[in-house]
């Protein structure tokens, strides 16, 4: 409860920064692209590739649900959580990311799965953080490979190489050392500081969180999760391929992968809910840098954004109704739980 007093202020600052970033991104896009031509391309888009994208999105959700289930701690009964119970919770998290600031969908889904399946909250949050780390590290490696394959500008390849080195180091550390030994050393150092008695409850949560990250047969689980992430990013690139075809533009699989990867990494920048502006600017700018006409690049960005966000958000809304839950209530509870656990959003 001590940290809860700071939450509203920090949340307001994050919302303001995100809104400002989205407005700036939209202004940059509008000023640099023939919006009328983009609208013409969107109006003439072929609906068949767009319809195929819905199957790609469904496959992504399924694979991501399998991956998260792999990283979650086992429920009290000991068996794996049925996939049919994971998918709606994941979709609610995606809905939270789409309509709430600061990626609140991530702690929401951790909170909801912990309550619904009677899991330890810190371990559930740990599974989400581990999933995000593995997913981002895998993407960084893929972006470097795609940048090299398409002969991207030298600075893109060099930045990708740097990110790939860091990503490889993170994955190697998770595979060989894990987070628990590091957390144990940190807790030991904190115990020697003045007033450490008041820090003991937080230290216990830190260790719970670390065990949540390390728990599931770590090495094998991380390798499988990374493979599933690679498959998911390939599907994400397929969405860009199909969308480009829908607006009459042809791109290579490696180009689609690079646009997809840089766009997703760009959503880490604070923005308005749904990554409005920042997603579209990242996708359009990357497309232009790789040789696409500006109007076509923006059309691909807008259409892929809608196809990526809207179906999962609708699925999340249906899941909310099915579970008789309210997103605002879940967000408040997740923020409180997140404040008690060493997990950021």
Pairwise CA distance, residues 116 & 89, whole Å: 9
Look-up of token digits 């696409």: 292
- The residue with tokens 């390798």 is 223
At residue 293, the pLDDT reads: 94
Query: What angle in degrees, to the nearest 10, is found between the helix axes of 218-246 and 47-71?
Result: 170
Domain boundaries, the chain: 3-340
The whole-number average pLDDT for the span 190-214 is 67
Q: What is the pLDDT of residues 123-171, one digit of tens each?
A: 888 889 889 989 999 999 999 999 999 988 888 888 889 989 999 888 8
What pLDDT does residue 306 have? 95
213-to-24, 105, 139, 208, 345 alpha-carbon distances in Å: 36, 19, 19, 9, 16
pLDDT, tens digit (0-9, with 9 covering 90-100), for 217-257: 567 888 999 999 999 999 999 999 999 999 999 899 999 99
Residues 257-287: pLDDT tens digits?
999 999 998 777 777 778 888 899 999 999 9
**Token duo for residue 303:** 């259409």
Per-residue confidence (pLDDT) for residue 336, from 0 to 100: 58
Q: Tell me the per-residue pLDDT of 295-340, one tens digit each, with 9 for 90 and over.
A: 999 999 999 999 999 999 999 999 999 887 777 777 777 765 555 4
pLDDT at res. 211 = 67
Q: Does the structure show a pLDDT above 70 at 34?
A: yes
Q: What is the pLDDT of residue 202?
A: 64
User: pLDDT digit string (tens) for 37-46?
Assistant: 999 999 999 9
**C-alpha separations of 193 from 3, 10, 205, 340 in Å:** 20, 27, 18, 21
Residue 215 pLDDT level (bands cut at 50, 70, 90): low
Joined tokens for residue 218: 């770590």
CA-CA distance, 52 to 238, in Å (whole number)? Answer: 10
pLDDT for 316? 94
Residue 292 has pLDDT above 80, yes or no: yes
CB-count exposure of residue 98 (10 Å: 0-12, 13-18, 19+):
buried
For the record, the structure tokens of 99 come out as 């309509």
**Rounded distance, CA 343 to CA 341, Å?**
6
pLDDT at 28: 87
Q: Kindly report the pTM of this predicted structure.
A: 0.84
- pLDDT tens for 100-129 read 877 888 999 999 999 999 888 878 888 898
Between CA 244 and CA 205 the distance in angstroms is 47
């Amino acid at each position: 409860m001590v940290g809860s007093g700071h939450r509203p202020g920090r949340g307001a600052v994050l919302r303001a920064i995100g809104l400002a970033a989205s407005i700036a991104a939209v202004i940059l896009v509008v000023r640099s692209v023939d919006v009328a031509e983009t609208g013409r391309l969107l109006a003439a888009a072929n609906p068949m590739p767009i319809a195929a994208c819905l199957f790609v999105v469904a496959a992504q959700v399924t694979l991501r649900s399998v991956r998260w289930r792999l990283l979650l701690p086992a429920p009290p009964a000991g068996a794996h959580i049925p996939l049919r119970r994971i998918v709606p919770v994941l979709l609610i998290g995606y809905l939270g990311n789409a309509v709430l600031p600061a990626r609140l969908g991530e702690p929401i889904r951790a909170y909801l799965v912990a309550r619904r399946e009677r899991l330890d909250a810190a371990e559930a949050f740990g599974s989400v953080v581990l999933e995000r780390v593995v997913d981002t590290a895998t993407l960084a490696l893929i972006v470097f490979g795609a940048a090299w394959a398409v002969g991207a500008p030298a600075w893109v390849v060099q930045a990708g190489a740097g990110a790939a080195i860091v990503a490889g180091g993170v994955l190697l550390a998770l595979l060989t050392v894990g987070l628990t030994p590091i957390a144990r050393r940190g807790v030991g150092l904190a115990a020697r500081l003045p007033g450490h008695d008041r820090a003991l409850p937080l230290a216990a949560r830190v260790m719970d969180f670390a065990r949540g990250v390390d728990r599931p047969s770590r090495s094998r689980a991380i390798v499988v999760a990374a493979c599933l992430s690679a498959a998911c990013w390939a599907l994400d690139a397929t969405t860009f391929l199909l969308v480009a075809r829908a607006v009459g533009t042809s791109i290579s699989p490696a180009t689609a992968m690079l646009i997809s990867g840089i766009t997703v990494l760009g959503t880490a920048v604070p923005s308005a809910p749904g990554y409005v502006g920042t997603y579209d600017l990242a996708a359009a700018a990357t497309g232009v840098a790789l040789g696409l006409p500006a109007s076509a690049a923006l059309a691909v960005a807008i259409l892929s954004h809608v196809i990526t966000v809207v179906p999962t958000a609708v699925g999340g809304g249906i899941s909310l109704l099915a579970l008789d839950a309210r997103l605002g209530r879940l967000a408040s509870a997740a923020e409180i739980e997140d404040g008690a656990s060493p997990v950021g959003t």
